[in-house]
Structure 1
Amino acid sequence: MNTGEKIKALREELHHHNHLYYVLDKPEISDYDFDQKLKELQKLEEAHPEFHDDNSPTLRVGGAVTKNFATVTHEHRMYSLDNSYSKEDLENWEKRIRKQVDGEVNYTCELKYDGASISLTYVKGEFKQAVTRGDGFKGDDVTNNVRTIRSVPLKLKGDYPEKFEIGGEIVLPYEGFAHLNAARVEAGEEPYANPRNTASGSLKLQDSSEVAKRPLDCLLYGLKGHKLGLKTQYESLEKARSWGFKVPDEAILAKDLSEVLKYINYWDVHRHDLPYETDGVVVKVNDLHQQEELGHTAKSPRWAMAYKFQAEQVTTHLNKITYQVGRTGAITPVANLEPVQLGGTVVKRASLHNADQIQKLDVREGDEVYVEKGGEIIPKIIGVNFKQRDPNSKPTEYITECPECGTELIRNEGEAQHYCPNFNGCPPQVIGRIQHFISRKAMDVEGLGGETVALLVNEGLIGNYADLYELKKEQILPLERMAEKSADNLIQGIENSKNIPFERVLFALGIRYVGETVAKKLANHFKNIEALEKASKEELEKIDEIGERIAESVVEFFSSEENVKNVERLKGYGLQLAISAEKLANQTVKLKGQTFVVSGVFSMPRNDLKKMIEDNAGKVSGSISSKTSYVIAGENMGPSKHAKAENLGIPIISEEDFLRMLK
């Protein structure tokens, strides 16, 4: 056996033993024997660098240093999940599913592990890249750090596809967390607060050899890619396991909702026996074709639901109620609490939501309150211990003036929150709007963060988002913690944002109630900002899914002289305030007024078909009704959908018929 063959054989042997130990928990050799083989391989690799391999088992110990983690656009967006907390929530979700898909619906149930979401890319069976979830569209490249996690396979086995991604969770087992904290305490350092945050923080350590010392684990559950040849979620879990991934064995296939609830009830009790933190169950429609039919909302897949276990609850003292002002002027009351441990973190503040909530719970300063951390990131107060209330306490009087600028607050009829109407003069609103403008889903200005925005406003260098485009390097260099390179990056980031497409610029403007989906709809309908500015409330309400509240908000935004002036300035600086000529060239009004239901499997990805409908002014609907113009039928179209279309007299056309229609 020559040297190259010996190195290859040793690597394969070590990959095999690594998988047996860290994934299957069935070691065949001792730790000593494994270490001896690893040392032998290290010596051979050092003597023969021509046989270097990024995925060699010797690189598990780390050593690469990453100063700045590159931002990577996800090829397949990482969505968040909708949460449910009761049997009724799941039943309502199932009703919505049955309206949209045909035939029997089965479910996979998987435990929801509490860790850091990750997406791994494999090409030709080799580990290529690891990217954090980030905002779902973009994340950080943490490949060097994830390569040190022993349960992440560096080379796959079996009939894996040419290229695919797999999503999962980086977790820190309780035992490893305890050992890590024991070592920190012994070294005189502060112990870490909880496993989840420690796992997440580990991924961003600059030295991968430090990550290698942490007993991180990687549990995987979601395959993504084109033409993977899989039919169900459960099959995809079994396939991933056979290729070498650590897929939790607790996942089951449930034939109906009663089996789903049985699974939930079992793990609500037995989750404490698991080696990892888990806070619920993820229920998914098992059939991948049905998943595709159901699609996604702007934030979440319609085919999955996270059932959250009952939240932990504690009592503590409410010291003071303060008030925060958001970017839209909305006032949020906040309870400042005596610090208390809750769900692995120290809680000092909790949301009180609005004046009605304070009145409903009769919450007062000085009360002993019950605090819960459910599906929300910010804990909330859910009740008061009236037995311990001071008899001299007085009901909370909600503020009448803005705590930041002193302007009298308003509360619109039918709305729960109070607002500060000082749109252009209230500092938190000004700062919040600019922070929204530069955020990832909006203008995505690299090199500029929320704290720097606040600094720029407080230093009087900017007063609105249009001012960003007049900033000069010499103005920002004197700012605190602003080095030459940082200043260059900030100015370049602002310049690059001029290429962001119209619908995202529209979202960035911060018009109340105009989120990502609405901004896209408005951009596609009006094509440019001038047409949108001139639109009346009645015109806006005629657009599909644009209601009275959104229409009023858009009209109100453009009735402000200050807003119109800022939009004109943005236009002058070269921002994209119209759909590009290239995109317009692919758009027509051929399908205007027509509604399509897309059902079945097609030669092109279903989303491409839907985009073609929308690009030609048509509407895509998930369910057949008397308002449906055409059903585009692919292979495996459900029989009940077919029958419903025929009963309603709706034309059923093929993919080829549709393409001819466009020509």
Structure 2
Amino acid sequence: MSDDERADGSGGESADEGGQNPYLRDPPTEFEPVDSLSESEAREQTALLREAIREHDRRYYVEADPLIADRTYDSLFARLQELEDAFDLTHPDSPTRRVGGEPLEAFETVAHVAPMLSIDQSGEADDVREFDERVRRELDAADGDAADDLQYVCEPKFDGVSMAFVYEDGSLERAVTRGDGREGDDVTRNVRTIGSVPQRLHGEYPDSLAVRGEVYMPKDAFQAYNRERIERGEEPFANPRNATAGTIRQLDPAVVADRPLDVFFFDILDSSDGIDAHHEALERFPDWGLRVNDRVEVVDSIDEAIAYRDALLEERDDLNYEIDGTVIKVDDREAREELGQTARHDRWAFAYKFPARAEVTPIVDVAVQVGRTGRLTPVALLEPVDVGGVTVSRASLHNPEEIAEKNVNVGDTVRVQRAGDVIPYVEEVVEKGTEGHYELPDHCPVCESPVERDGPLAHCTGGLACDAQLRRSVEYYASDDGLDLEGLGEKSVRQLVDAGLVGSIADLYDVEREELTALEGWGETSAENLRSELEAAREPALADFLSALGIPHVGPSTARELAREFGSFEAFRDVAENDPERLEGVDDVGETVARQINEFFASEANAAAIDDLLARVSPQEAETDAGGDDLEGLTFVFTGSLEGVTRAEAAETVEAHGANATSSVSGNTDYLVVGANPGQTKRDDAEANDVPIVDEDEFRELLGEYGIDLE
């Protein structure tokens, strides 16, 4: 074998012939420094590591019989990556391709080597028997006794993403989504990150091979990943299939590498070697390093196929992957050719579907979501279940008192309902799987701060130092109820926090244009627009600033009352910290709200975050005397930048004269005031609701008619 052959791990005899590969059994995990190796030595070690890692992958994913511990495997993998980087020995087949790569701009559409058709299906046994009768009738018509030896292969019908995997000379050439069955998206770079997809085949494989497989997310990995998302304050995936489909179409392969995808291979689309029967192909797949499902059975009659489906239905909840039925396939490949296809599906296969799970399902885990104000909300993670025609995989448990009252715990089978056809919740326990009920943690799952109980509620005491509260607080600060910052929604806030650019609300004002344009989906225009929005928000109206802070129970209406009462932020903060009883005299503020305002400002983390923010913004003083009720009954919405005044100051002016200033357009809005660079959404909403749109000059003229000066 030449050095080049060893470098890419191709050609020649196995590097382990005679047990020569030291990285297979009891491998070393300490290595000589890279700079002490010659290039020839590095190539030799790289080839041995690649071959060993491929064999470890096969033993782990296909045989489920690993030779080494995970930590040892990680050491070998890290060493291989170190050598490839140091000696520029990268190769498309290398196992290190699993860590991802540079983000893609778009997926290329490519034609399949053979059609990937759909499967005719039904949930009725009579339709399955009709399929069998048709198959036998058509085979007998082609060959008088062809149906006598008919056998079916029965397989689980996986609920994932179907895909074609093309291997040339044993190397993964491309992976393509099913698409329309004739062509699909080339997602090879993403698929290379999946550990159970071999970069090179093993053994005596065909020179050319295209196989069909199903990429999926194991149920335990899905629940764990959803739990992490919920605890980070992110929206969880609805079910494993959605999670898989969303992941495989990510433009950044590094994101795919970070998510727990797996694959089963289940059919040959095209091969340079002839194979007579489908079950023979499945038997050979593991020899090539292709992972197959262990629930496949060959049966001699359609009654046995129906019995197979019924038995698998009973085992469905115990499997670590989602299935929604079974697939019954004619085993003989020559018979398949006789049966052919319709325009949409193969005539030699039929899917016998399971009934949808309805309302009753087990709880597999409980995640704790941390809200903007620190409130802890337990969320039950469920085996996906149909509730009113919608598949749900999570349900609210509301609070610790309700959990105790219903005696709900992980492992229990529960009935799930949807409140107002929107929010799923656990109605009752149908069957106890464990003793006792779930207990909320004593410390925040995100920041480890102590959890405090307040009657039926529980709160994280971490304040704005808690990442979950931080993300939600930044989102709220920029929302319509806050400073109404265009271009700063949930996705962009998550990007900024995850990239380490924003560790507090104050950091928003320090993000540079170059840092924004380096993020996926950000261009020069969007970056500059956000920076302009933030610059315009350095002197917010006091009421908007108070609302934007996210103080519990202080929304826009209460914030306006507080602003009119105290006039300045300094005066309000002094009372909030030192004389909370005085707050109770303000409209919309009672004893409970006054106490929570006091507790918000008493938090050292919150106080530090506010001090940092005040170093960057200067809340404007508010008029403490009402200006009259000239505009009573009118509702205004503002968008874009006004000259001479901020939107918040304009809103304060109309409110001081009896009008309402809201952040979104509805049928109750009387005027949409449009400044420079307005948001298109509000204009569209105004047109849809027949709301008059006025520019700044027209707005000033309107106020002038009432003797109101905007200055």
For normalisation by structure 1, the TM-score amounts to 0.48
> Whose relative contact order is higher, 1 or 2, with alpha carbons under 8 Å and at least 6 apart?
1
Query: If you compute each CA radius of gyration, which structure gives the higher value, 1 or 2?
Result: 2
For normalisation by structure 2, the TM-score amounts to 0.44
